[in-house]
Amino acid sequence: MEKMNQYRLKLWQERLSKNMAAYEGELARMDRREEIYRGSAALESMTPGDRKRRTSHVRNLSSELIEAQVDSGIPKPKVTAKRPQDEGKARIIEDMLRNELDRLPFEQLNDMMERTVPIQGGALFLVEWDSRKSTHTTSGELAVSLLHPKEVIPQDGVYTGIEDMDYLILRIPQTKEGIRRRYGVDVSQENEADPEVKAFGDDSAEDLVTQYTAYYRNDNGGIGRYSWVNDVELEDLEDYQARRLERCKACGELKPPLGEVCPKCGGKTFESREEEYEEVLFPIFRSDGTAIEPMPKMDLELSAPEAEGLLGEEEGEMPVPPEDPEAFPMRELSARATKAEFPGEEDFSGIPSGLPQMGQIPYYKPEVFPVILQKNVSLYGKFLGDSDIDKISDQQNTANRIEAKIIDKILKSGSYLVLPDNADIRADGEDMKVIRPGDPAAAQMIGVKDMEGNISQDMGYLAQVYEEARQTIGVTDSFQGRRDTTATSGRAKEFSAAQAAGRLESKRVMKDAAYAALFEVMFKFKLAYADEARPVASRDLEGNTIYEEFNRYDFLEQDEAGEWYWNDQFLFSCDVTAPLASNRDAMWQETRQNLQSGAFGDPTDPETLILFWTKMEMLHYPGAGETKRFLEEKLQKQREAEQQAQMAQMAGAQQGMNPDMGQQLPVGMDPGGVPGAQALTEAGGMEGAGMLPGAPGMTPGM
């Protein structure tokens, strides 16, 4: 085993050395790009014989043009189901991903990516499942981090994408104590092999080491992981995305959650083993309450006495486990049954040992590389995309040279005093200097010469270089928020900015493509490792919060042959309406226009105004909630007042039609004092006398 470990370590060290040597040129260019973006003062030679030197002043065109492209908007997920019955699941996935975007620090990640991607041509996301982040009810959480392209060494010669590689190697700075906590390996005596990974020109730190992690495709199509520090092996997992459980080394029993002794044989030695199937001992419930019962199918007919002893009083009730294990038959439970028809987990705790155990379901494995590349602009034959710094590096160097020349001309220019050779001038702090020329002829030679450097030509060419850089990137004045003399109206400025955005649209498409791939990997990791149902919050059309659950068992299905499989057939993309939805000011203006145009109904109708302010409350308009509640209370009072007025009107109408109605009449007298009222009452009251129902005092002829 020790020889095998040494062989594996040497194999990956050789692969790292070989691929780093092939990637050395690109790594050197990465350092140069970072230096230019930060405002390098070095001047490169432009003509033969021109010497390299440094300047004291730099106009950082590169930083200015890259900052103009920064987009703080984070793409929102859009999930499309391939089958109509999966529409609800697709919506739950969308809401789950939106919750994860809020939970994880994507604002910081996006801010770093918006600068690293155009500088280097690309950057990468790393998706992991951190089992250490657990709560009282959940175990593990998703973790997404940013990888600088210097931290990734790709397989040499493969430029089409990460999924086409056999392997790639990460080199990430880690603390020695963090390595010990995570892997249980002491690396306190090791040093930092690649300190330049942390930052350009950074020195080695005493408490840090460089951890190398290789992700590779194994023989079964899964993903393996091998990690080491210098000559110390940290981890060797042939299929790292497979489930691992701690089992007793002697009998294979699962390790108890809070114990260190095997409950079956009393052993104290446990080892981590890969598990392909999950043993399900109790009914599994989906989020909608339907149950999954993966018991083996058996055609076993019950006799009448057995049926009477096992079935409950009502049809469809769960059988009660008898004391005799052999009398308990195996049966398949319907997946359409509701949760109320099944007893809880505690009800099964009394089932005697030896009863048929429920079937097994396979563990889900993502089987994708957890590294996602976001390119700036695709370029054939390059692992990363095309760098904006590479495109304008010549213009940046030229601008630096011209700036240096302008400064030299200005500093060397000035006023010079012309004196004859025999002239004498007093040197002191007085304003009026005394000059003794010696004779009148020499006095005529005294004068002042103003030496001014002509920089007009330099300034003109500097502006030309700046325009070249901007046009190369595709950034206009309106896109930068600067004064644009060509756009004379607000609409013209919007059109100019839109044109610039059109040239930069490919960068947004690449960003959306990277986030779509990221969303898919995040979903697959949740499906693989989130054993417990995770709460998901969303909002309906009225702005009310809806609380649901992401339950991985919702995606567990059974084919016609009875085999269980996980349904991960969903299409992932980005919601193109998200940028507008995230622009609250624009959405407020759009909602006001809809109100004024009558899209919500009559603008003067209180119900229309309530709908309008409901929309504004959803868009987080200040005070919208209070305004909506005020209108609702006002409308409620108005309706109550109208209802009371209507009731008073009806009561007045009844009083006007029959003034004596409601008074006690003498026996045998009608309302007009005519005998016979008692007879009418005995005949069925007013209705029996031919009165209209519901209209007291009115006859059909009236």
* Residue 480 bridge partners (DSSP): none
Q: Could you state, in order of their start, the residue ranges of all structural domains in the chain?
A: 38-107+380-413+450-575, 243-276, 286-299+330-361, 583-655
How distant is the alpha carbon of residue 111 from its chain centre?
A: 13
Quickly state the pLDDT bin for 317 (edges 50, 70, 90): very low
Percent helix, percent strand, percent coil in the chain, to nearest 5 = 40, 20, 40
Buried-exposed string 397-419: b where 16+ CB fall within 10 A, e elsewhere: bbbbbbbbbbeeeeeeeeeeeee
Q: Which among 202, 344, 367, 358 has a CA at the least distance from the CA of 295?
A: 358
Residues 144, 518: Cα–Cα separation, whole Å: 9
Please report the pLDDT score of residue 592 as a whole number: 84
Quickly state the pLDDT bin for 488 (edges 50, 70, 90): low
Regarding pTM above 0.75, the answer is: no
User: pLDDT at residue 541 above 70?
Assistant: no
The pLDDT tens digits for 339-369 are 333 333 333 333 333 333 446 788 999 999 9
Q: Are 555 and 526 in contact (CB under 8 A)?
A: no
How wide is the angle at C-alpha 532 spanned by C-alphas 531 and 535, nearest 5°? 135
Measured in residues, the chain has a length of 702
Please report the pLDDT score of residue 366 as a whole number: 93
User: pLDDT at residue 576 above 60?
Assistant: yes
Q: Could you tell me what percent of the chain has a pLDDT over 90?
A: 35
Q: How large is the average pLDDT for residues 597-620? A: 84
Least confident stretch, 414-418, 535-539, 541-545: 541-545
Residues 384, 387: Cα–Cα separation, whole Å: 8
* Residue 42 bridge partners (DSSP): 54
Residues 364, 565: Cα–Cα separation, whole Å: 8
Long-range contacts of 512-515 (CB under 8 A, 24+ apart): 512/75, 512/573, 512/574, 514/125, 514/372, 514/373, 514/374, 514/375, 515/74, 515/75, 515/77, 515/374, 515/574
Residues 149, 172: Cα–Cα separation, whole Å: 11
Please report the pLDDT score of residue 683 as a whole number: 44
Please tell me whether residue 175 adopts helix, strand or coil conformation. Answer: strand
User: What is the residue-averaged pLDDT of the chain?
Assistant: 78
Q: How do strand 570-574 and strand 223-229 relate by DSSP bridges?
A: unpaired
CA dihedral 495, 500, 501, 507 (to 10 degrees): 170
Quickly state the pLDDT bin for 643 (edges 50, 70, 90): confident
